[in-house]
Amino acid sequence: MPTLDPTRRELATLRAAIRHHEEQYYVLHDPEISDTEFDQLLRQLTALEAEHPELVTPDSPTQRVAGRPVDGFETVDHQVPMLSLDNAYDEAELTAFDERVRKGLALAGDEPVAYVAELKIDGLSIALHYRDGLLRRGVTRGDGVRGEDVTSNVRAIRGIPLGLRVAVPGDIEVRGEIFLPRSSFDKMNASRLEAGEPTFANPRNAAAGTMRTLDPALVERRQLGAYLYHLVEQTDPPWSRPQGHAEALDLLVAWGLPVDRHWQRCRDIGEAIEYCRAWADARHALPYGTDGVVIKVDRLSERERLGQTAKFPRWAMAFKFPAEQATTRLLRIEVNVGRTGAVTPYAVLEPVQLAGTTVQMATLHNAEDVARKDVRAGDYVLVEKGGDIIPKVVKPILGRRPTGDDEPRPFVMPTACPACETPLERGEEAVVWRCPNNQCPAKIRRGLLHFAGRRAMNIEGLGESLVNQLVDTGLVTDAADLYGLTTEVLTGLERMGAKSATNLMTEIESSKDRGFAQVLFGLGVRHVGEGAADLLAGRFGGLPGLLAASVDDMEAIDGVGPVVAQSVRGFLDDPRNRRLLDRLTEVGVRMTATRPHTVDAREQTLSGQTFVITGTLATMSREEAKRAIEARGGKVVGSVSGKTHGVVVGADPGSKLAKAEALGVPTFDEAAFRQLIMADR
């Protein structure tokens, strides 16, 4: 083992520590340190790497989100098609599967087949390619034959290592599932619901939607997870080839890849069926969604003999858990006022056990939906967990509807806001009713909770009951009022001791420095999610720049569409919002952009320079190299001319290298190029 100088040693130690904590958090769901401590480690590493740019490695945890959003995704072919799975819905179908397998293998009598049972992760499949231990590419399943190259987003998933723990030589491909943990899904949908935006039906759709975004920084913030379950067969691997699937999974773990640890080797189909029974309930306690169990023949030689149909392997079967439904009494229909004033009905239920939790409320979407399904207070209703998370009312059980005098009456949507009695108005999206009153206490409360939320100004301790008190006592009517609070005023509130008051004041004070993207997101401008707020803050640098920007200027940003641009302009043109922004500025809230999660605000060292990239780079894709140049203000063009400032040369360069040499254009090999894009002036 060569001895390392102290800096290299420190870098290696920090990187290993960060990787360890990424695994604890994102793979094992068992964090050993707080988020703040993790961020500190990451900041320490970023600072040390900034002092020694030549020591930055492509698999360093600082290299997850690099550059700006991508333009789009390239379509690429899968070398081995990505198959889907046949489904079984009950135990008899599993037994029939086992019989087919034993027949296919021509096994005698009751000779059993060994299986591996794994949880079926509710996400979207992904193929990861590593070369010499470094993550090279991530491709979605697509139609199974061709998928999209989503490498930039895959790199932003902290559960996926950028480099393997063991420097596995050559090319390997591993497949698995990308998913959104329940907690992230709940948070995401809650804020969408409040913003009057459509919610995602289940974590799978939410994960797929996230992977389609062009902004890796957003992917990182959504905290996706990944579990791998398939090592694609390699011809002549330099390591000893596993004989069974269980062994292959152990190999993946040894390489540092994320594997869901709940798999089990089963001696026969009976044990696999037991596994399905056990997990049908136990799964509800997991931090991520599973919609079934996948049962796979363990021995790889047996798999080979069984082969596949056009769509499915004959050696695997997905057992689907039954949908979780229950019937209960719908006691009342109430309405909720969201941050944007959207008034939506929800059902208050007689408590019922559903998918492992007690359910007392279910969404009813909107008034039209209630009328269409004819759901009434007093009905028995069928409730279901959509994607196993948010319960919804499926339908009334009409056969059990009381008759005569007790017959429930149809729901009538209130015409006035339940919180402030202002007549409701229909929004542009006809199905949503809104309270138009900007002083509506329900809207103010929701707005403040959003402003103080973790992903906005992150004011810890400012929860629902405190916000209610602050609004009800008239102490706070908007976000700027929060900054006028004092310890004395706070200690006068119910259940607020001196220590909590001081802590809250410290939190409020430190929130001033979060940066403009967080302010913009926190103010809850319609249609402006975290991603758009980040892009706008990054592009215009802060409030003054944004105020001067036209709708066209905003739309020129990739990832900002006309709806967002117009909404932002409308918000800024409203004098009341301008006053609020002025007051926030006066109390010292930072109105300039910071980029805590991305390395986008780089010095524009390549401003005005044009580059050409030729050949294959070992540590990054061409697209990544292009984005790195653009992040520095440079431009990438297709052909070399006398005006080209530099040519980046990878392996097997084309005629462009010869042309560059002939014209005397400087060339950069990969190491020199890395220095170029890392170095500040």
Helix or strand holding residue 146 (H, E):
strand 146-148
State in angstroms the smallest separation of the CB of 214 from ligand IVH: 23
Query: Looking at 117-125, 386-394, 591-599, 671-679, which segment touches ligand IVH (CB under 6 A)?
Result: 117-125
* 656 assigned to active site: no
- Which backbone phi and psi does 382 adopt, to 5 degrees? -95, 120
Q: In residues, how long is the chain?
A: 681
Q: Which residue carries 């950069």 as its tokens?
A: 668
Question: Does the footprint of ligand IVH cover residue 230 (CB under 6 A)?
Answer: yes
State in angstroms the smallest separation of the CB of 394 from ligand IVH: 23
CA-closest candidate to residue 165, choices 23, 263, 46: 23
Instruction: Select which of 103, 120, 392, 443 is catalytic.
Output: 120
**Structure token digits, residue 506:** 């410290």
> Which are the contacts of 110, defined by CB distance < 8 A and separation ≥ 6?
none
Question: Does the footprint of ligand IVH cover residue 248 (CB under 6 A)?
Answer: no
Query: Looking at 14-22, 113-121, 238-246, 486-494, which segment touches ligand IVH (CB under 6 A)?
Result: 113-121
Which stretches within 199-347 are classed as H helix?
203-212, 216-222, 245-254, 269-282, 300-306
Question: Does the footprint of ligand IVH cover residue 318 (CB under 6 A)?
Answer: yes
Q: Tell me which of 120, 434, 443, 514 binds ligand IVH, using CB under 6 A.
A: 120
Question: Does the footprint of ligand IVH cover residue 101 (CB under 6 A)?
Answer: no
Query: What crossing angle do the helices spanning 562-573 and 575-586 adopt, rounded to 10°?
Result: 80
Question: Does the footprint of ligand IVH cover residue 121 (CB under 6 A)?
Answer: yes
For ligand IVH, the closer of residues 319 and 521 by Cβ is 319
DSSP 346: E
Site string for ligand IVH, 151-190 (x = CB under 6 A): --------------------------x-------------
Site string for ligand IVH, 55-94 (x = CB under 6 A): ----------------------------xxx---------
Q: Which residue carries 């004098």 as its tokens?
A: 575
Q: Which residue carries 């619901």 as its tokens?
A: 193
CA-closest candidate to residue 518, choices 505, 504, 537: 537
3-state secondary structure of 393: strand
Exposure letters 498-515 (e unless 16+ CB within 10 A, then b): eebbeebbebbeebeebb
**Structure token digits, residue 416:** 């006035």
Q: Tell me which of 26, 97, 229, 611 binds ligand IVH, using CB under 6 A.
A: 229
Question: Does the footprint of ligand IVH cover residue 97 (CB under 6 A)?
Answer: no
State in angstroms the smallest separation of the CB of 138 from ligand IVH: 14
Residue nearest to ligand IVH (CB): 125
State in angstroms the smallest separation of the CB of 1 from ligand IVH: 37
Question: Does the footprint of ligand IVH cover residue 303 (CB under 6 A)?
Answer: no
CA 361 to CA 355: how far, in whole Å? 14
Report how many residues bind ligand IVH under the rule CB under 6 A: 14
Q: Which residue carries 């009751």 as its tokens?
A: 110
Question: Does the footprint of ligand IVH cover residue 209 (CB under 6 A)?
Answer: no
Q: Tell me which of 294, 347, 606, 647 binds ligand IVH, using CB under 6 A.
A: 294
State in angstroms the smallest separation of the CB of 129 from ligand IVH: 17
CB 663 within 8 A of CB 641: yes
**Mind telling me the catalytic residues?**
120
Contact set with ligand IVH (CB under 6 A): 83-85, 118, 120-121, 125, 177, 229-230, 294, 313, 316, 318
